[in-house]
Amino acid sequence: MDDLKIYTRKGDDGTTSLAGGKRVSKSDIRIEAYGTVDELIAYTGLLRDQPVDETHKKTLLRIQDKLMACAAILAADFNDCRVKLPVLHEKEIAFLEQEMDALSMKLPLLQSFIIPGGHPAVSFSHIARTICRRAERRIIELTATSEVPLVIIQYMNRLSDYFFVLSRSLSLDFQLDEIKWIANAD
């Protein structure tokens, strides 16, 4: 029966296990990096639960799957990991670029910053974009002390761009006027 419990009490001392078994502080930058990716996975799910078309839903589910792979890779101690890890392929970056290109074809030219909002789906896309940027910063911070596959950094960089383009596309789908930010010199 104990095998069915979600809690182990092993983290009560403020540590957690990396893939491979090494224990580290829960404040370790590696934990912060993959924890932020986990947060992005959840927000991407929330975005997928919005009234967006099936093509977007399928793309978002694919993104969640690739983010799960990123989190698993980031959770590994590369110096002592005997666990088989998933692989993130560069074709996933190309996929995001193709999606952005297709969405951008129908969008008006961007000539100013956009103030997020107008519909929950648009706002959730912007939240996902900002969390993605934070995850990217945490992953880059991790590279100062640990090996991180470059493809993960590239994927996160492209993914934040994708969420921005998606937010604009959703604004168009919902027939919203984008609110352009014009800087005041007051």
State how many domains the chain has: 1
Instruction: Determine, yes or no, domain membership for 12.
Output: no
Residue 34 above 90 pLDDT?
A: yes
Number of H helices, E strands in the chain: 5, 4
Residue 1 above 60 pLDDT?
A: no
Dump the DSSP string for 161-174: HHHHHHHHHHHHHT
Element (H, E) at 82: none
Instruction: Determine, yes or no, domain membership for 11.
Output: no
Residue 10 above 80 pLDDT?
A: no
Can you give the pTM of this predicted structure?
0.90
Q: Which domain holds residue 135?
A: 26-76+88-105+113-179
Instruction: Determine, yes or no, domain membership for 18.
Output: no
State percent of the chain over pLDDT 70.
84
In this structure, are residues 116 and 177 in contact, taking their beta carbons and an 8 Å threshold?
no
Sign of the torsion formed by the C-alpha atoms of 65, 70, 74 and 78: positive
Instruction: Determine, yes or no, domain membership for 9.
Output: no
Instruction: Determine, yes or no, domain membership for 21.
Output: no
| CATH number, residue 63 | 1.20.1200.10
Residue 84 above 90 pLDDT?
A: no
Those residues with Cβ within 8 angstroms of residue 12's Cβ, 6 or more apart along the chain or in another chain: none
